[in-house]
Structure 1
Amino acid sequence: MREIPRVILLVETSRAFGRELLYGIARYSRSHGPWAFYKETGGLERSISRLKNWGADGIIMRNPKRSDELIAMGLPTILVIHRREEPPGFPRIVTDGPGVARMAADHLLDRGFRRFAFCGFDDMVWSQQRKRAFRERIAEAGFETLVYEQPTSARNRTWEREQPLLAAWLAALPKPVGLFACNDDRAQHVTEACKTAGVHVPEEVAIIGVDNDELVCDLADPPISSVALDTEMAGYHAAELLDRMMRGGDRTACDIMVHPTHIVTRQSTDILAIDDADVAGAIRFIRQNARHAIRVGDVAEAAALSRRVLEKRFRSLLNRSVHEEIRRVRVDQIATMLVETDLPIAEIAYRLGFPGVEHIARYFRKERNISPQDYRKTHGRRFTVHV
């Protein structure tokens, strides 16, 4: 391999998933390179001959058309899986669809919903995988999921023709309902169809998507809650693997997983679907005070209920204790700060009212079965990490 490796990148940049992958790849290149990149912005059909003559050393690509011609070049190649068809025998970047769906389901369950729906793309294998996992998690909780089915005709799947069909389906759903969309683009479709149907978000339909594409989520009205992924980390690991392959290392097929990290809550799910006003007020108090070391007694006092009565009503509605809810919300807060900031863990402990690093580490490990340091290494952006 030459002194400066040449790497072909065929990864879309119009959405956060592709951009985050590229950030991770670029970060690895800065630390271990330099690398030279060929990033195709136009159609592959127009540039296939140039790519073949460029003298590349490796490829990372997202299942483009005519990919067989690039694969036939025999270069170290990593595929970003997106379509149903995939060439066998290559390392792949794959999203943990079941983990994504379970996190979305738990988010809606935690908000007290008892009615659920799913909206995806019927011809996308990853969407179908998320649908199955979401239905399974909701069934475990004792509920069913209503599923939107797209028109079978491609002609009727244009947004102009599909929007009124989706709007009619949304209008007919029992309310209130928690809806999981397969990604942020689909969540935005649902948001717009709700406007057409005169359905209020989040009061009647609470919507959560996937990818945490800030532009897509914030352009929606109201802004969309989303499952965040450690896509940037996956890009870094993919570049690391490609580097070894380009140096003559093993090219055996393996999966680089993109895991869900946390929920970025925006207005589309900022609601509690709980009929008991006292319990809803208690949950609201816990969330508003997640940065403080609150106790069950503090929650009972805020709800103006005895501890015994609050516990009974809490378990009846949410199937968990007040103490378990406090721990769950606090651990979610820790996880978010580990992923989204480069604050030293000692500083996070201080800001959340823990006596020190050892105490917050025990608290976090008990819920997530992983230390804060390892959680950050696995899921966090590559800031300069402090411990």
Structure 2
Amino acid sequence: MSNTRKVVLLIESSRAYGRGLLRGIAKYSRLHGPWMFYRESPFYLKSDSLRKMISHIKEWGATGIIVREQEGLDEILALGLPTIVSPLTERFIPGVPSIYTDCFAIAKLGAEYFLKMGFRNFAFCGYYHKPPFAWSEDRAKVFNEIIAQAGFETHIYVPSKPQKLPPWEKEQLILANWLKELPKPIAIMTCADDRSQNVIDACKIANIKVPEEIAILGTDNDEIVCDLSFPPLSSVALNIEKAGYEAAELLDAGMKGQKMEAKLLLVQPFGVVTRQSTEVMAIEDRDVAEAIRYIRKNPKNMTQVNDIATAIGTSRRSLERKFKKMLGRSIYAEIRRLRVEQMACFLLETNYSILRIARIFGFAGAKHVSRYFRKEKGISPQAYRKQYSLK
């Protein structure tokens, strides 16, 4: 028992981000521990003061800490234990390893998702107050840059006087008025799923239809938050568990006496989970919109271009020409893109073999589906699973 790691976990568990980190840490502990954990008291019990909590940590004989940025962080770091921090207002905490989201990859994925849907109007809604959230600012900046590179403008929600977060009743009216003034139809990316829920609520006050007038995409893929919204929210999914596992692995090295480099552990996105808040195509051409709906409804079928043209009642040549004009890509490229996105979900959400996934999607063997997948993603299905799934 004397060699058992005693790890302090000061991580909230009410949101998907914190729960994901905890799942990754738990998996590492099962494989390489077991560890003992100290956590804050649940909400239905009286919480200790910071002074008492630090006293308990010392008496318990903790050997390492993983903590979200919070009040009293300096006192926690002063304990001198191997510590990893997940920042909130900062991008990293000097002198210690930090867990931070890959905001460039997240915002780029969101921007490209909307561009491929044919939108021409874009907006971003984050949190703007003092102190600012670094991750919200970073995602807004990158989203704006990617949209600008595509030749479009991003409308960014910024209250006239950023201050402490105002009461929701007050901000809801400000946000609703901003939404009314935006050009329609428009695609809005938010910094987080909670913010997406705010936007949906403000849309209801403003009598704005979602997704017909405003399509909304969040981040974190917090299933509870997404499903509590109406319509349910689409969201960028993050590989949070993998980051939790890697944080535990690094902490373990530190608890063994190895030097922990003060580096960033990046939380990577791996795709967009589409729900009703973005189930719309901002495409004026009826044939193109109908064709994309047909492809989305049949992602596992070996759909041919002629099948689509026949189903929507137009000629193949006419449909190909319209696709190139409206989306800048061929019908076949769109079929492959949507099918590969579905394959990627199977790779990350199941333990199915590549051969089994190949057969689900109508391929004769693993080699055939691997070539198909690589053309879209640039890597093999095996490499994609290894890179984005939990260890």
Query: TM-score scaled to structure 1, two decimals?
Result: 0.95
CA gap of 1:142–1:43, structure 2 versus 1, over 3 A, is farther
1:63-110: CA deviation from partner (whole Å, max 9, x where unpaired): 121111221222111111222274312111110111111111122122
- Once the two structures are superposed, the pairs formed by residues 375-386 of structure 1 within 5 Å of their partners are 375-381=384-390
**Equivalent residue number for residue 246 of structure 1:** 255
Letter in 1 for 2:159: Q
Distance in 1 separating the partners of 2:390 and 2:91: 31
**Equivalent residue number for residue 185 of structure 2:** 176
**Are 1:202 and 2:211 matched, yes or no?**
yes
Q: Say which SS state the counterpart of residue 278 (structure 1) adopts.
A: helix
4+ residue runs over 4 A deviation: none
Distance in 1 separating the partners of 2:165 and 2:37: 40
Distance in 1 separating the partners of 2:74 and 2:165: 31
Q: Give the number of equivalent residue pairs.
A: 382
Letter in 2 for 1:296: V
**Are 1:162 and 2:171 matched, yes or no?**
yes
Q: Say which SS state the counterpart of residue 157 (structure 1) adopts.
A: coil
Judge conservation of contact 1:52–1:70 (CA < 8 Å) in 2.
Answer: no
**Equivalent residue number for residue 99 of structure 1:** 105
Distance in 2 separating the partners of 1:151 and 1:18: 32
Q: CA RMSD in A?
A: 1.6
For structure 1, which segment, 150-159 or 259-268, has the greater mean C-alpha deviation from structure 2 after superposition?
150-159
Judge conservation of contact 2:91–2:135 (CA < 8 Å) in 1.
Answer: no
Distance in 2 separating the partners of 1:342 and 1:32: 22
**Equivalent residue number for residue 26 of structure 1:** 26
Q: 265, 271, 286: which one pairs with 1:262? A: 271
- Once the two structures are superposed, the pairs formed by residues 34-183 of structure 1 within 5 Å of their partners are 34-41=34-41, 42=47, 45=50, 46-84=52-90, 86-122=92-128, 123-152=132-161, 154=163, 157-183=166-192
Judge conservation of contact 1:150–1:157 (CA < 8 Å) in 2.
Answer: no
Query: TM-score scaled to structure 2, two decimals?
Result: 0.94
Q: Unpaired segments of 5 or more residues in structure 2? A: 42-46
1:163-188: CA deviation from partner (whole Å, max 9, x where unpaired): 00000111111111010011000000
Distance in 1 separating the partners of 2:323 and 2:78: 60
Distance in 1 separating the partners of 2:353 and 2:157: 44
CA gap of 1:278–1:224, structure 2 versus 1, over 3 A, is same
Distance in 1 separating the partners of 2:91 and 2:312: 54
**Equivalent residue number for residue 355 of structure 2:** 346
Letter in 2 for 1:343: Y
Judge conservation of contact 1:101–1:134 (CA < 8 Å) in 2.
Answer: yes
